[in-house]
Amino acid sequence: MKILSWNIRGLGGLEKRKAVSRLVGDKHPFILCLQETKMQVCDASLCSAIWGCSSYDFSYLSSVGASGGLLTIWDSSEVEVWASTSREHVLWCHGRFIKSGEHFYLANVYAPCDLCAK
Question: In CATH, what number is assigned to the domain containing residue 27?
Answer: 3.60.10.10
Q: What is the pLDDT of residue 53?
A: 87
Average pLDDT of span 92-103:
98
For residue 7, being part of any structural domain is answered with yes
Query: Is the confidence at residue 66, as pLDDT, over 90?
Result: no
Residue 113, pLDDT above cutoff 80:
no
Residue 62 maps to a domain = yes
Encode burial over 28-44: b for 16+ CB neighbours within 10 A, e otherwise. Answer: ebbbbbbbbbbbeebee
- Whether the per-residue pLDDT at 115 is higher than 80: the answer is no
Please indicate, yes or no, if residue 118 is contained in any of the structural domains: no
What is the widest separation between alpha-carbon atoms in the chain? 42
**36 is an annotated ligand-binding site residue:** yes
Residue 114 falls within a domain, yes or no?
Answer: no
Domain count, the chain: 1
- 18: confidence class by pLDDT, cuts 50, 70, 90: very high
Give the structural domain span for 84. 3-109
What is the structure's pLDDT at 93? 98
